[in-house]
Chains A and B, each alone.
Chain A
Amino acid sequence: ETGVTQTPRHLVMGMTNKKSLKCEQHLGHNAMYWYKQSAKKPLELMFVYNFKEQTENNSVPSRFSPECPNSSHLFLHLHTLQPEDSALYLCASSLGGDTGELFFGEGSRLTVL
């Protein structure tokens, strides 16, 4: 496989569930990101990891918990979410040190009931 792969593509969960989103990149990049895409709103940067270290947490609620075990994998652990958290969650990677060229996955469509 090449590029950035996200699983699952679709997820429906209740407000009391715990689930995780997974992202894997096969590009040899050093930086990985989580973005949230909601209808009619700009993409929101959530977290940035550079060489497995978190370098950005954009005031994200603690019900979203990221994990980056290595430069190729990124997780977003979800617990006690709210219906307004329903959105498309996009993972991206970059070489690191690049001026903004991100490679995105296809996203995980999350619905919170």
Chain B
Amino acid sequence: GNSVTQMEGPVTLSEEAFLTINCTYTATGYPSLFWYVQYPGEGLQLLLKATKADDKGSNKGFEATYRKETTSFHLEKGSVQVSDSAVYFCALSEIYAGGTSYGKLTFGQGTILTVHP
């Protein structure tokens, strides 16, 4: 079956530090990959996505590149802010017959990020 493994947190950084959150996956087919973010007291929201190998997803200064050879989708940001403190989830979905996945996402366990001023 499919699975997603994220680096264990929590991760604590100072403002303007470089961020990497590792994510690796196993899948039987050709999944799309996602990073979701959950700010305190809120639901998850999509941060970025990549749908095929070598694609780079980016949003709000965050980036992640779909690496099929290493089955990875690591999240990076060059300079984090206090407002980036949240829980980050890596996820994958597989495309089923007809080209749809209907939200059958497989999530990692989440990584808590805390950024201090």
Residues of chain A having any CB pair with chain B under 8 Å = 4, 6, 31, 33, 40-43, 45, 48, 50, 55-56, 90, 92, 94, 96-107
Nearest chain-A residue to B46 (Cβ)? A101
B105 lies within 8 A of chain A by Cβ: yes
Asked if B107 contacts A102 (CB within 8 A), the reply is: no
Chain B interface size, as a band, is: 20 to 34
CB-CB < 8 A to B105: which residues of A?
43, 45, 100, 102
Q: A43-B44, A45-B104, A99-B93 are in contact. List 17 more A-B contacts (CB 8 A).
A: A33-B103, A43-B105, A45-B103, A50-B102, A56-B102, A92-B44, A92-B103, A98-B100, A98-B103, A100-B34, A100-B93, A100-B103, A100-B105, A101-B46, A102-B44, A102-B103, A107-B43
Contact of B42 among A48, A50, A56, A106 (CB under 8 A): A106
* Complex: chain B residue closest to A9, CB-CB: B41
Binding site for A on B (CB under 8 A): 4, 32, 34, 41-46, 49, 51, 89, 91-93, 95, 99-110
In angstroms, Cα B46 to Cα A94, docked, is 12
In Å, the complex CA distance between A40 and B99 comes to: 32
A55 touches B102 (CB 8 A): yes
Q: Is there contact, CB below 8 Å, between A99 and B101?
A: yes
Cα(A104)–Cα(B38), bound, Å: 10
Chain A nearest CB: distance from B108 CB in Å? 6
